Amino acid sequence: MNAKATRAAFGEALIEIGAKEPRVVVLDADLSKSTMTRKFANTYPDRAYNVGIAEADMIGIGAGLALSGKIPFVCSFACFVVGRFETLRVSVAYTEANVKIVGTHAGIAIGEDGYSQMGLEDMACLRALPNIPIIQPVDETETKQAVAYAVQHQGPLYLRLTRQAVEPVSPPDYRFEFGKAVVLKPGEEITILGTGGVVFNCLEAAKLLHSEGISAEVVNVSTVKPLDEELILRSAGKTGHVVTVEDHSIHGGLGGAVAELLGEFLPTPVNRLGVVGFGESGDPKRLYAKHGLDSAGIAQSVRKFLNR
């Protein structure tokens, strides 16, 4: 399997699911070329609506469709769709409308477009809202299964997707389970909890560390909310040190969720890796290097954290 953007895998999955599930309706706000829903719209023109550059209206229309029995996907960049927080809060979360919120272009890895187009606080916002789970699939395999899960999940749900191609990391026989994290590489001395495209970098970092005699456990946390508390507590209890890695603000995302969990139930040193402050324009690879989210940066943070 080749590297593929999770937004692309999402677009492909939608078409397959659209054939089986006639209640699926897709809404876009003039970014259907970017959210990869165009093919769905061409295949099922009666079930795809582009409402123009009007995300709040898109979310509200989605809520109305959901309250009348449809399964709408409302799609835009993560920052724009979650930016209409108040509409998500009342029309979707509080109303318990079965709306699937899709935020693509998550993180600084979108690169050159710069901060205003980067979803960097979306998970923090939605973690604060009751009733909206957050899934950030790690690769093509997991994305397709997560989209299928989203359709059968009763209630709203947020899918966080990447613009950039991400390397496959899921084993071939992988079965996505909502709320379950997955140990991709077992280890003894440090737990690296990653979510999204950076999980591949975590695995690469673990290889570097292994060559230096540091045994790292790498976990893919694709359901960021609700957290797989059991697995995380077990791994943290074993290794005694936890690093979180996400292409998102270090505040309120995976790192925040893990720190809250461990702080309350199993005080453990935690090092949160992610984006501090605003993002910026640049080549995605160099951006990851600058923000310490490439494999070298993650490995370096682990060494420092363990005083090795």
Partner 1 sequence: MPLDYDKLSEIARECRVQIIRMLTHAGSGHPGGSLSAIDILTVLVFGRMRYDPKRPDWPDRDRLILSKGHCVPALYAVLAKAGYFPESLLPTLRKLESPLQGHPDRVRLPGIEAATGSLGQGLSISIGMALAATLDGKPSRVYCMLGDGEIQEGQVWEAAMAAPRVGQPDRPLDNLCVILDYNKIQLDDFVKKVMDLEPVIEKWKAFNWPVIEIDGHDLRQIDKALDQAEATKGRPSFIVAHTVKGKGVSFMENDPEWHGKAPKKDEGIRAIREILGVAENDWADYLKKTPHVAAIVREIEGL
Buried b (16+ CB within 10 A) or exposed e, 129-143: beebbbbbbbbbbbb
Which of residues 9 and 14 has its CB atom nearest to partner 1 in the complex?
14
Write out the binding residues for partner 1, residues 152-171 only, by CB under 8 A: none
**63 binds partner 1 per the rule CB under 8 A:** yes
State the residue for tokens 């456990």. Answer: 217
Write out the binding residues for partner 1, residues 64-93 only, by CB under 8 A: 64-70, 72, 86-87, 89-91
Stretch of residues binding partner 1 (CB under 8 A), selected from 35-43, 44-52, 265-273, 288-296: 44-52
Is 121 marked active-site?
A: no
**25 binds partner 1 per the rule CB under 8 A:** yes
Minimum CB separation of residue 127 from partner 1 in Å reads 20
Report the run of H or E that residue 144 belongs to, with start and end: helix 140-152
Minimum CB separation of residue 85 from partner 1 in Å reads 11
Q: Which of 13, 61, 108, 302 binds partner 1 (CB under 8 A)?
A: 61
Considering the candidates 12, 16, 55, 264, report the single residue annotated as catalytic.
55
**107 binds partner 1 per the rule CB under 8 A:** no
Kindly state the DSSP code that residue 206 receives in the 8-state scheme.
Answer: H
Rg (CA), the chain: 19
Which phi and psi angles does 83 have, rounded to 5°?
A: -60, -25
State the residue for tokens 């954290």. Answer: 305
**100 binds partner 1 per the rule CB under 8 A:** no
How many angstroms separate the CA atoms of 300 and 39, rounded? 42
Q: Which of 13, 26, 36, 51 binds partner 1 (CB under 8 A)?
A: 51
**41 binds partner 1 per the rule CB under 8 A:** no
| Crossing angle of helices 295-305 and 198-211, rounded to 10° | 60
Stretch of residues binding partner 1 (CB under 8 A), selected from 55-63, 120-128, 224-232, 291-299: 55-63
Within 8 A by CB and 6+ apart from 53, the residues are 29, 30
Stretch of residues binding partner 1 (CB under 8 A), selected from 31-39, 57-65, 214-222, 229-237: 57-65
Minimum CB separation of residue 93 from partner 1 in Å reads 9
**147 binds partner 1 per the rule CB under 8 A:** no
Cis peptide before 133 (omega within 30 of 0): no
Q: How far apart are the first and last CA of the chain?
A: 35
Q: What is the CA 20 to chain-centroid distance, rounded?
A: 25
**30 binds partner 1 per the rule CB under 8 A:** no
6, 103 in Cβ contact below 8 A?
no
Which of residues 61 and 193 has its CB atom nearest to partner 1 in the complex?
61
Residues that bind partner 1 (CB under 8 A): 25, 46-47, 49, 51-52, 54, 56-70, 72, 86-87, 89-91, 94-97
